[in-house]
Chain A
Amino acid sequence: MPDMAGEGGLTELRRGVLGPCVLSLLELRPRFGLELVRDLAAADGLLTSDGTVYPLLNRLRDAGLVTSEWQDNEGERARRYYSITEAGRQSLKAFRADWTQFSATVGKVLNHTAPVDGVREKGRER
């Protein structure tokens, strides 16, 4: 993975976690596009560009994890609101479990707090 530490690797990481982050925000309440973008942008480093949220929303909608509907509230402009579906909640729940374990494992390896084969073999020789 020659580019994993560079911008390309980071972009892939963002792409992988942005979907669950969108689902997580929508789990709290429905949001319209710009609102969702601003909330994600508030989490520093999560968005490289605002516009990439929209292709993602469309993919989540096609996967049945998100729905959208136009709302024309009094005193406001007509906006398209995105909501999480039940399938989206299940997917988010599964990701949370996986992510907790996965991020803990990666954290241990990256910070040298987990035993690796080379260290263990060296200890046995002693």
Chain B
Amino acid sequence: MSGTALHHHLVRDYLAELDAAMRDLPPAQARELKEQLKAHLDEALPPEPSDEEVVATLARLGSAPELAAEARTLAGVTAAPAPLGGFWGRLARVRRRTWVIAGLLVILIAGAAKYADYYLSVPPLQYASGGDWWYQQDVRHQSIARTDTSTQNTTLIRSGQRQGYLISIYNPTNVTQTIVGDASGPHIGWDNPGGSHEQIAVSRSNADIANGVIGEDAARGVRFSLPVSIPPFQTRLVRVLWTSDVCLSSGEGGGINQIFLRVRVGWFTGTEIIPQQGWYLTGPSHGRCV
């Protein structure tokens, strides 16, 4: 099969079309038929045929889809390729496995997006009203001021010593939220409320000061740790301790009315800023000032 007729551009186009039309035939059968048709063309055409000769010979031979269909019929192959070109042709030739993988990826991405949207839109934890200074000497010196919209609990600063408070945090959502740490950093600063070495810990079991589930004194016996998960619609005690390392003159004071927590919901961890009652320290300092 050394004839140059097979190099004619119309013959090459025809053979390429034949390959596409026979792609659903068994490979050995398609290969053999192509060799037979090449031999036929090589012998039927002169070595350097004109376009007209090639067109006439190809017309007598039959179109590539027609011959493929004949071979398919005789071989009992039922599937016939759709004769599509352009974009739709390329789309039709995408393998079923590729479609399956693409479909799974879309489902996966859509699922992940829905998951992320669900967990990222979960409302934050809430401060349950009430609370108390952690140390008894601070409780003894506290003064509570209430308005219609806020409560401020003030006690004397004990400079150089540990001070802190205890509050209840409620999970108002139907998903578990896990407190993993303190989001205000190692030094909470004067206005927050004036101390360093802040330490946050959470009770392990359902407990609520505000609703009397646990009394303020009994809270002293509760075990605290971190991280702690709060199941839906349950309450945990949160203890905040720090070293008051500022000096205050008489009449000076400062404090906080919100707590910054690192909270994990599902696979996502973020900072939740939870408004609470005010916890304030006031001077004058009597201890060691830094």
Same complex origin of A and B: yes
Contact A58 B32 (CB under 8 A): yes
Hey, which chain B residues are within 8 Å of A54, CB to CB?
33, 36-37, 40, 67
Tell me, rounded to whole Å, the shortest Cβ–Cβ distance linking A13 to chain B.
Answer: 14
Hey, which chain A residues are within 8 Å of B32, CB to CB?
58
A52-B67 contact in complex given A59-B74, A77-B1, C-beta closer than 8 Å: yes
Contact A50 B39 (CB under 8 A): no
Query: Is B92 an interface residue when CB atoms closer than 8 A count as contact?
Result: no
Query: Is A56 an interface residue when CB atoms closer than 8 A count as contact?
Result: yes
Query: Is B174 an interface residue when CB atoms closer than 8 A count as contact?
Result: no
Which of A49, A51, A54 has the most chain B CB atoms closer than 10 A to its own CB? A51
Tell me, rounded to whole Å, the shortest Cβ–Cβ distance linking B30 to chain A.
Answer: 11
Query: Is A37 an interface residue when CB atoms closer than 8 A count as contact?
Result: yes
Q: In the complex, what distance in Å separates the CA atom of A55 from the CA atom of B62? A: 12
Q: With CB as the reference atom, state the residue of chain B lying closest to A52.
A: B70
* Chain A interface helix/strand/loop/mixed: helix
A51-B37 contact in complex given A34-B44, A59-B75, C-beta closer than 8 Å: yes
Hey, which chain A residues are within 8 Å of B274, CB to CB?
none
CB < 8 Å: which of B40, B43, B44, B74 contacts A55?
B74
Query: Is B95 an interface residue when CB atoms closer than 8 A count as contact?
Result: no
Contact A33 B39 (CB under 8 A): yes
Within 8 A of A (CB), among B12-45: 29, 32-33, 36-37, 39-40, 43-44
Contact B1 A33 (CB under 8 A): no
Query: Is A108 an interface residue when CB atoms closer than 8 A count as contact?
Result: no
Contact A37 B62 (CB under 8 A): no
Query: Is A80 an interface residue when CB atoms closer than 8 A count as contact?
Result: yes
A55-B60 contact in complex given A33-B39, A34-B40, A80-B39, C-beta closer than 8 Å: no
Hey, which chain B residues are within 8 Å of A91, CB to CB?
none
Tell me, rounded to whole Å, the shortest Cβ–Cβ distance linking B69 to chain A.
Answer: 10
Q: A33-49: contact bitstring with B at CB < 8 Å (1 yes, 0 no)?
A: 11001000100000011
Q: With CB as the reference atom, state the residue of chain A lying closest to B63.
A: A49
Query: Is B61 an interface residue when CB atoms closer than 8 A count as contact?
Result: yes
Q: In the complex, what distance in Å separates the CA atom of A56 from the CA atom of B29? A: 12
Q: Using a Cβ–Cβ cut-off of 8 Å, how many residues does chain B contribute to the interface with A?
A: 22
Query: Is B71 an interface residue when CB atoms closer than 8 A count as contact?
Result: yes
Contact B67 A77 (CB under 8 A): no
Contact A33 B60 (CB under 8 A): no
Query: Is B66 an interface residue when CB atoms closer than 8 A count as contact?
Result: yes
Which of A54, A79, A80 has the most chain B CB atoms closer than 10 A to its own CB? A54
Hey, which chain A residues are within 8 Å of B37, CB to CB?
51, 54
Hey, which chain B residues are within 8 Å of A48, CB to CB?
62
Q: In the complex, what distance in Å separates the CA atom of A57 from the CA atom of B71? A: 10
Within 8 A of A (CB), among B52-94: 60-63, 66-67, 70-71, 73-75
Contact B43 A58 (CB under 8 A): no
Hey, which chain A residues are within 8 Å of B66, CB to CB?
49, 51-52
CB < 8 Å: which of A51, A56, A58, A77 contacts B40?
A51
For the complex of A and B, 4 pairs with smallest distance between CB atoms: A49-B62, A55-B71, A51-B62, A54-B36
Binding site for B on A (CB under 8 A): 15, 33-34, 37, 41, 48-52, 54-59, 77-80
Binding site for A on B (CB under 8 A): 1-2, 29, 32-33, 36-37, 39-40, 43-44, 60-63, 66-67, 70-71, 73-75
Residue pairs across A and B with Cβ atoms less than 8 A apart, 16 shown, are: A34-B40, A34-B44, A49-B61, A50-B40, A52-B66, A54-B37, A54-B40, A55-B67, A55-B70, A56-B70, A56-B74, A58-B71, A77-B2, A77-B43, A80-B36, A80-B39
- 14 extra interchain contacts, Cβ-Cβ under 8 A, other than A51-B66, A55-B71? A33-B40, A34-B40, A41-B60, A49-B60, A50-B40, A52-B62, A52-B66, A55-B70, A55-B75, A58-B29, A58-B71, A59-B75, A77-B43, A79-B39
